[in-house]
Structure 1
Amino acid sequence: MPMKPMNARDPFKVGLVAIALLGLLGGVVLFLSLANFGTTSYTAVLEHTGGLRAGESVQVHGVTKGEVTAIELEEDRVVVEFALDSDIELGSRTEATVKVATLLGTHYLEVDPSGAGELADGTIPVERTSVPYNLQDVIESGAGALEELDPELLAESLTQFASTLGATQEEIRPALEGVARLSESVASRSDQVGALLTAARSVTDQLAASNADIIEMMKQTNLVVAEVTSRRQAIHRLLVETTELARALESIVESTRGKLQPALRDLNEVIAFLNQQDDELQHVLDVMAPAARYVANAAGNGPWVDLFAHEPALPADDVACRMRRDCR
């Protein structure tokens, strides 16, 4: 079937088709502009925006890995939606912080993925988010306090302060000069201060290097304490029994004091007598020494005593047979 030329077609139908095609093309362009391919959407709940705006970057450990897509206000909280590269996995304890990027007022969202598992509902709760300290908040919080001040009383106080300083300038000048001299002294000793800081750093480094040894020593100390604790009952029983033994000895000494005293007195008298007879005892020992030596020599050859004597001190060998008259 041959196609109709354009001028032969119904203009109304051609216009409807053209409008439908343009609408479809616009929808595709809008979808491509809003769709985030290769990214995952998350939500962070903040106390306030802290200056953060949609389109600003999202960083993970200082590296840009996404951007803020939307910021909405829900009751007293700000909900920030952001897209993050799909290769970044957020754990169950993930935190988010709004930080200042430049002095011109640009910001970025710093995300710290931490914790095991996955981020619940893809939302970082307000308890794990923070915003930078805002100067505007300080000014607004101080404005109310300034409005409560009495300007006339404040002016009078400043006047009194100025007059007091004027009257005491002679006393203040030496104090300021002393502060200046102190500053000069510190500046002149900068080398010594530097050496002190270097030595402190050396001590710190040494402690850091000995960290394992210190920990091991602390573990050994813990073992000693644990052993002492485990043996506390035995030590307690030993102390109790030692105390009982001391009491028993005390009672024995107390009960035998009447008998021991005469015995000790007699022993002292014996020792005193021996001390008095020291010269006689020494003479006896001197005399007994040669006699003991002779006896040892005589009895040292066997189970007999060697003696030498002439007749008639000892009888001869044939005296007995002659007395019996049977000698041969």
Structure 2
Amino acid sequence: MTKRRSPAVAGALGILVVVLATLSALSLDSLPIVGAGATYKAQFSEAAGLKPSNEVRIAGVKVGTVTSVDLEGDRVVVGFRVGDAWVGDQTSASIQIKTILGQKYLALDPRGSDTLDPSDQIPLERTTAPYDVIEAFSSAAETVSEIDTEQLAASMQTLSEAFSETPGDIRASLDGVSRLSETIASRDQQLQALFRATGQTSQILADRNEEFTRLIRDAGTLLNELNTRQQAIHQLLTGTQRLSQQLTALVRENEEQIGPALAQLNGVVGILNENNAELDKAMKLYEPFVRLYTNVVGNGRWFDQVVVNVLPPGLPDIPGYREPVRTLGVN
């Protein structure tokens, strides 16, 4: 007698199998045997906005993705995976700007005679990090907003008074610095509004990064479609040109036969024009014949016709007696 397994145990085993299959599918790309290429590392002086999942490109073609961005001492170590591409032992790397909104990607320049060992990192001497303009504006806005411009102006004024007994050149320099600080203090609200608006604009552009990327991608699709239509129109015009050339050659080859045929056709048309009046007269005479013939045979399988002048016409009935014109036997 077999012992049946409990439904709860079977359900738990089924859920465990599904979870393990899901985890395996999600981590399939990170497995060393079936993963999408080898994983390398490069040292940079700063991250410059590079993030995991950013693209890795060689000569503008995507060959992998960034897997990690970690800080190790005074440098940033970027891990990236490359598939279906050769990476040499003298390869250089740089962080490039992908879009005007500040999205980055890792660019590789494969060099060297041997393949790069995944355990060897690309050193700082062969890496380049860009200057992040958006981050600089944001930092400048935060720094300016934290400065007490009124206190700065007062400090400059006090410094100018303290050096009032110094030679004229130094006093003029300090007076200029004091006036500059006063000007900055008087424009404090405008500067703060300007940097605040710059920060908001940068944030809005960063938030709309996906939309701009989609717009650029759709523009590429539109250009591809226009290119396809242009090729189709080119093929149509080329085919029309070839057809015209073939028709021209056909006309030239049959010119000797076409000429006499057209001349004969012109003669036939002339004869028809000359006999047009006779044809019109025949059609007019044919009309009453058809009408009478239709009346004769229109009653079925026999002819409906009247024969006249067979008997003499009847004499008129005149009352009274009339003498005969001539009497037989009488001279």
TM over 0.5: no
Q: TM-score, normalised by structure 2?
A: 0.39
